[in-house]
């Protein structure tokens, strides 16, 4: 089976507002645990079965709660970090075990008559229903509903119900907190996380009534966490209830007999807190308080709060698609998980996997600012501001890192949890400075979309100034006066330490210009940061003289200087099972060939589109289609957006399918380690920036919508400068509607439009079709549009 083939049998049904697993697939358990993960950006719970076993990978995570681990190097090198940070599986509060007439409920034994799980993206809940007959022939129906609260960030809750089917049964339910769970072994794939055994040391355990509290600290990083649970129990009068605790386990046990028609109903409230500074008593009290708040709200109140929060989100974020039901489901699934990843992170990072698994050790990368924050900026801007505020909090470490590398300004880490560089791969951890530009670009985008002057003064300006200083220090004016940035690694990880990467240079140019402009708007703050007119002028000079390589012979932009002079990779001789290439070929061979892991030059066409003519975009896109193997899940979304812009609408649809379905179809066979949050954010980008043609900047909101043949209608909602608007697109026309706000001016295919009380409908200009470009053999995206007249063999 090739890497991008879907499973033989669909795991989930296709529905517009939910993800439903109609039968339990033990062979897909790890994948479904990630898909069914619930999170709010602070607390994340994988979709493990309530009884804890079987599992693919148990997982409960607190944002930025990590353990230190060594980063062994074959040869020590200056500037390479010696230790890393790995997210850890914290105390598991999901577990509710069940015994039926002394037989443990386990789907691997007895008979499962019915098993269904449903992730409801409007309610924000995961519901499971099971009918099971034990090995001793006792049949029960079990229903659980799980949620991680978006309004109450420390709280999760579970409704668990058991009822007999047919005859009476004796049941024992055990609700648990479990720390230091055994985890599966690590994998050879570097995308998988490091495995740490028993990272938590018990400090306190308390059992009182129906409440249990466990406190732990990490062995090396010195972080402290607390987890607590409280219960509301309804059932027959003759119930026995007791609680107990030990350093790594807390348990509430309920025993009763259920007659036909009776039901045992347990509502489990769970709360978490952690800190690197607060005392054990303070964390204890924090969790007790969170549990009290949850119990006061009650189960029904928590459901109402959750639905209200999500209703408000969908009012400004929903996307409707007609003609491709899989894409409709996938884009809402993507938006739901992007929201979960950042909604309540509140000045902590947004990891590449969110809080759905331990992949990439739980680190954040430039992916967040480049791909995730655009979605949040236009749908949930407060979350985007919080993510950038976290970067600002780590600025002192970025300043230290730049100084260590002999540079001015700030060098933000390639991968991190708390702001320290955690990459032992030096071409990225030392040379991939474009992370700075992605962060600066996200600052500029957020301020443009919100006009948040306070954010610009308190956070944005300082980030822009220090990132601009980095570029001015890193680059130099050569003897001809042009400004060069040599020896850097761009987004494509199959090229490294190159001169004048086009994407990096164009993004640096934007960073330098934005820093100078923002310093001019806030001269008082700029003065405090030591920015004078001479420094700001040097930024503008560097931006104006920035090198942007161009190959006149081929009529395209080389990804970096001399890239188009390299030998092309021998794609024809590359076996299908040798992808990803980085797992089968030495980096030195990849570095000296024309082969692209992920969109790099093509990303520049999207992110810095004003730097290219439409003819240049078309030629560049088609050239790099033949070189890009998409060994990174980040590539397809960018290819979708640019394919749509240059007129390859069907190809854009194909790439949209790949980025949107990466986890629902487990296309890369690594969803078990957690969802690809940035790739799923690309489902939004592929529709809004691709088929909607949305571009924004300098107060200009522009659209150039066009649809592929396989999609008959698209509508999307977004927020911009205090306005909430809806854009609807068919093959013939676009409709722009102001849902609320003061009104705004926008552009439709370069035609200015004033949007106020009444919707505006405008025709879509015709498109001249072009021959579709080819991809490396075997790396073509799966087609989305099926010819209804094609014969099936």
Return the number of other C-beta atoms located less than 10 Å from residue 70's C-beta.
Answer: 11
Question: Are 743 and 723 contacting, i.e. CB atoms less than 8 angstroms apart?
Answer: yes
**721/698 Cα distance (integer angstroms):** 12
Tally of CA atoms within 13 A in the half-sphere of 65 that contains its CB: 30
Show the CA angle centred on residue 339, arms to residues 335 and 341, nearest 5°: 120
Report residue 65 as tokens: 């709660």
**708/690 Cα distance (integer angstroms):** 11
- Give me the residue label for tokens 């209608």: 713
Catalytic residue among 181, 493, 513, 622: 493
Report residue 770 as tokens: 């072009």
**Cα of 765 vs its chain's centroid, Å:** 35
**47/55 Cα distance (integer angstroms):** 10
**392/196 Cα distance (integer angstroms):** 30
Q: Is 347 left (phi over 0), alpha (psi -120 to 50) or beta?
A: left
Report residue 354 as tokens: 């969110």
Mention every residue, 6+ apart, whose C-beta is less than 8 A from residue 176.
52, 92, 93, 95, 96, 97, 249, 250, 251, 252
The H-assigned helical ranges of 594-722 are 601-607, 614-625, 635-645, 649-660, 677-685
**512/494 Cα distance (integer angstroms):** 27
Question: Are 253 and 242 contacting, i.e. CB atoms less than 8 angstroms apart?
Answer: yes
C-alpha separations of 660 from 89, 326, 666, 725 in Å: 27, 9, 11, 23
Please confirm, yes or no, whether 493 is among the known catalytic residues.
Answer: yes
Residues annotated as catalytic (active site), given as ranges: 493
């Amino acid at each position: 089976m090739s890497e991008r083939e879907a499973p033989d049998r669909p795991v989930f049904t296709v529905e517009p507002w939910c993800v439903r697993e109609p039968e339990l697939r033990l062979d897909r358990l790890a994948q479904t645990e990630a898909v069914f993960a619930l999170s709010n950006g602070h607390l994340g719970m994988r979709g493990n079965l309530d009884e804890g076993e079987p599992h693919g990978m148990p997982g409960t995570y607190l944002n930025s709660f990590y353990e230190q681990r060594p980063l062994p190097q074959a040869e020590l090198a200056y500037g390479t970090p010696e230790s890393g940070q790995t997210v850890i599986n914290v105390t598991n509060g999901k577990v509710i075990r069940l015994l039926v007439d002394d037989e443990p409920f386990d789907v691997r034994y007895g008979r499962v008559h019915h098993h269904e799980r449903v992730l409801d993206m409007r309610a924000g809940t995961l519901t499971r229903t099971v009918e099971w007959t034990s090995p001793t022939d006792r049949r029960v129906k079990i229903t659980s509903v799980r949620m991680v609260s978006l309004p109450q960030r420390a709280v999760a809750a579970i409704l668990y119900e058991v009822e007999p089917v047919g005859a009476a049964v004796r049941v024992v339910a055990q609700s648990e907190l479990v720390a230091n769970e055994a985890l599966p072994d690590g994998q050879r794939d570097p995308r998988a996380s490091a495995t740490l055994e028993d990272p938590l040391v018990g400090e306190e355990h308390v059992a009182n009534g129906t409440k249990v509290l466990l406190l732990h600290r990490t062995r090396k990083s010195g972080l402290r966490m607390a987890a607590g649970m409280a219960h509301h129990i309804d059932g027959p009068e003759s119930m026995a209830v007791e609680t107990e605790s030990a350093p790594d386990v807390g348990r509430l046990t309920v025993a009763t007999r259920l007659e036909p028609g009776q039901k045992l109903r347990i509502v489990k409230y769970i709360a978490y807190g952690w800190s690197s500074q607060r005392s054990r008593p303070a964390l204890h009290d924090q969790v007790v308080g969170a549990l009290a708040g949850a119990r006061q709200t009650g189960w029904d109140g928590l459901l109402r709060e959750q639905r209200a929060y999500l209703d408000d989100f969908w009012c400004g974020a929903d996307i409707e698609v007609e003609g491709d039901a899989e894409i409709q489901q996938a884009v809402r699934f993507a938006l739901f998980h992007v929201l979960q990843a950042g909604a309540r992170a509140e000045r902590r990072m947004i990891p590449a996997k969110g809080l759905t698994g331990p992949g990439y050790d739980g680190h954040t990368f430039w992916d967040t600012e480049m791909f995730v924050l655009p979605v949040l900026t236009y749908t949930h801007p407060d979350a985007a501001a919080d993510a950038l505020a976290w970067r600002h909090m780590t600025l002192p470490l970025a300043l230290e890192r730049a100084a260590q590398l002999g540079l001015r300004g700030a060098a933000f880490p390639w991968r991190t949890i708390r702001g320290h560089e955690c990459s032992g791969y030096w071409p990225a951890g030392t040379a991939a400075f474009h992370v700075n530009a992605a962060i600066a670009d996200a600052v500029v985008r957020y301020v443009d979309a919100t006009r948040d002057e306070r954010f610009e003064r308190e956070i944005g300006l300082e980030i822009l100034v220090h990132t601009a200083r980095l570029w001015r220090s890193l680059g130099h004016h050569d003897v001809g006066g042009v400004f060069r940035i040599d020896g850097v690694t761009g987004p494509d990880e199959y090229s490294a330490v190159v001169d004048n990467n086009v994407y990096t240079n164009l993004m640096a140019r934007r960073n330098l210009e934005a820093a100078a402009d923002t310093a001019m708007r806030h001269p008082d703050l700029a003065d405090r940061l030591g920015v004078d007119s001479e420094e700001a002028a040097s930024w503008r000079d560097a931006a104006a003289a920035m090198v942007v390589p161009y190959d006149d012979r081929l009529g395209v932009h080389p990804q970096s200087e001399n890239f188009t002079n390299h030998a092309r990779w021998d794609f024809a001789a590359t076996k299908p099972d040798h992808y990803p290439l980085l797992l089968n070929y030495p980096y030195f061979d990849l570095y000296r060939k024309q082969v692209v892991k992920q969109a790099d030059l093509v990303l520049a066409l999207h992110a810095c589109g004003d730097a290219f003519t439409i003819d240049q975009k078309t030629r560049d896109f088609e050239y790099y289609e033949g070189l890009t193997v998409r060994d990174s899940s980040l590539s397809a979304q960018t290819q979708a957006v640019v394919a749509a812009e240059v007129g390859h609408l069907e190809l854009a649809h194909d790439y949209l399918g790949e980025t949107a379905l990466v986890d629902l179809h487990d296309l890369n066979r690594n969803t078990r380690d957690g969802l690809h949050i940035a790739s799923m954010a690309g489902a939004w980008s592929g529709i809004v920036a691709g088929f909607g043609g949305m571009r924004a900047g300098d107060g200009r909101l522009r659209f150039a919508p066009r649809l592929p043949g396989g999609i008959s209608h698209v509508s999307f909602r977004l927020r911009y400068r205090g306005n909430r608007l809806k854009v609807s697109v068919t093959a013939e026309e676009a409709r722009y509607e102001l849902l609320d706000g003061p009104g705004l001016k926008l552009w439709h295919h370069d035609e200015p439009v004033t949007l106020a009380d009444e919707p505006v409908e405008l025709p879509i200009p015709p498109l001249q079709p072009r021959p579709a470009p080819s991809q490396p053999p075997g790396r073509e995206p799966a087609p989305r549009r099926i010819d209804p007249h094609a014969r099936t063999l």
